[in-house]
Amino acid sequence: MSPQDTLPERAIHWFEIPVDDLDRAQRCYEAVLGRPMRRESMGPQIELAVFAYEPGAATGGCLMRSPGLRPNADGTRVYLNAEPSLNAAVGRAERAGLRVLVPRVDLPGDMGAFAVIVDSEGNTVGLHAMA
């Protein structure tokens, strides 16, 4: 059995949300999620703000400022973990001046709930929580 066989299956291994202003976007996401992000760079032109995650146990992702990427409301949508409270995360988004595009939607059964916001850069991003 290889080490790969012990990793949990995930449809997504990493995601990048394009931004024009990394400082503004990082403040936005830290305010909404209530968690700090870690700054990194990949050479002189690419800067990242990495979401908190546990490598190997959770999907990682970042905000990315890069000459080849532009924010877009019509692109791929990711759903970020808004645990422990979707309502609290949506409230923080509203207080940060963000637009709530889709208010809380309760999913059937034990699938939790989601909402969709427009971030400080113009991307649409989902928030999801089980509770």
Q: Is 62 helix (H, G, I), strand (E, B) or coil?
A: strand
- 129: exposed, middle or buried (C-beta count within 10 Å: 0-12, 13-18, 19+)? buried
Domain chopping of the chain, boundaries: 11-129
For residues 100 and 12, give the distance between their C-alpha atoms in angstroms, rounded to a whole number: 25
**Model pLDDT for residues 27-38, shown as the tens digit of each residue:** 999 999 999 999
**Residue 126: φ, ψ to 5°:** -90, 150
**Model pLDDT for residues 61-110, shown as the tens digit of each residue:** 999 999 989 999 888 899 999 999 999 999 999 999 999 999 999 999 99
Q: Does domain 11-129 have CATH number 3.90.1150.10?
A: no
Neighbours of 67 (CB within 10 A): 7
**Model pLDDT for residues 5-27, shown as the tens digit of each residue:** 555 566 788 999 999 999 999 99
Buried-state track 16-53, b at ≥16 Cβ within 10 A, e below 16: ebbbeebeebbebbbbbbeeebeeeeeeeeebbbebee
